Amino acid sequence: MSLKQIEKEIQGCRRCGLADGRTNIVFGDGNPKAKLMLIGEGPGRDEDLQGKPFVGAAGQLLNKILEAAEIKREDVYIANIVKCRPPGNRVPNRKEARACLPWLWQQIETISPRIVVLLGSTALQNLIKPDARITKMRGQWLESKSGIKIMPTYHPAALLRDPSKKKPVWEDFQKIRDEYKKIMNN
Ligand code: SF4
């Protein structure tokens, strides 16, 4: 199935209660053949209004990080654990995440990225282990059964709240950049 077909299918989705408060479903954005995929938590206010992921302040910071790592945003694909905005930007609960994850699995299967960057603990806990701690696991490569390299790091929104996280995130993105370059040059 193509990304366009999945996006068509998701329209009108009411698998969880987040459907009630959304303006738009924020499906995902970027290169459908991306080698690098970034996964965040869920849409915020700007994303909900525009229907695109990472367009608000955190998104602008992510753009800067990608630019510094010499990774073009249009070359990567960006999606979230949940596609509809949780009220007041709260963290999506397990039930909501579980309801929405099949859409993300379909996206990952279709795009077939070589690297997946997990932005923040919601992505880490829902995709790797419910009790995983981002503070402990960030900066270390993990590998999926199908050989996808996975790097957890802090969510850009966390950097806006706590600038001391900028240094570790930059260290993580240097590793991501090196691996990405290796893959792109092969
Ligand atoms: S968050 Fe996901 S599962 Fe819930 S309504 Fe939106 S698209 Fe459907």
3 alpha carbon, distance to own chain's centre: 16
- Supply the CATH number for residue 75's domain: 3.40.470.10
Q: Which H/E stretch holds residue 142?
A: strand 142-143
Mutate to test the pocket of ligand 1, among 16, 27, 103 (most ligand atoms within 8 A of CB): 16
- 69 occurs within a structural domain: yes
pLDDT (0 to 100) of residue 1: 87
- 186 occurs within a structural domain: no
- Identify the CA nearest to 44 among candidates 85, 83, 91: 85
- 40 occurs within a structural domain: yes
pTM over 0.95: yes
**Whether residue 95 has its Cβ less than 6 Å from ligand 1:** no
Contact 36, 117 (CB under 8 A): yes
- 66 occurs within a structural domain: yes
pLDDT (0 to 100) of residue 54: 97
- 104 occurs within a structural domain: yes
Contact 151, 76 (CB under 8 A): no
pLDDT (0 to 100) of residue 23: 98
Which ligand 1 atom is at minimum distance from the Cα of 13? 8
Cα–Cα distance, 111 to 78 (Å, whole number): 11
CA of 42 to the centre of ligand 1 (A): 10
As a whole number, the mean pLDDT across the chain is 97
Q: Name every residue whose Cβ is closer than 8 Å to that of residue 167 and which is 6 or more positions away in sequence.
A: none
Measuring from atom 6 of ligand 1, which residue has the nearest CA?
A: 84
pLDDT 10s per residue in the chain (186 long)? 899 999 999 999 999 999 999 999 999 999 999 999 999 999 999 999 999 999 999 999 999 999 999 999 999 999 999 999 999 999 999 999 999 999 999 999 999 999 999 999 999 999 999 999 999 999 999 999 999 999 999 999 999 999 999 999 999 999 999 999 999 998
**Boundaries of domain holding 89:** 3-181
Tens of pLDDT, residue by residue over 50-102, are 999 999 999 999 999 999 999 999 999 999 999 999 999 999 999 999 999 99
Structural domain count, the chain: 1
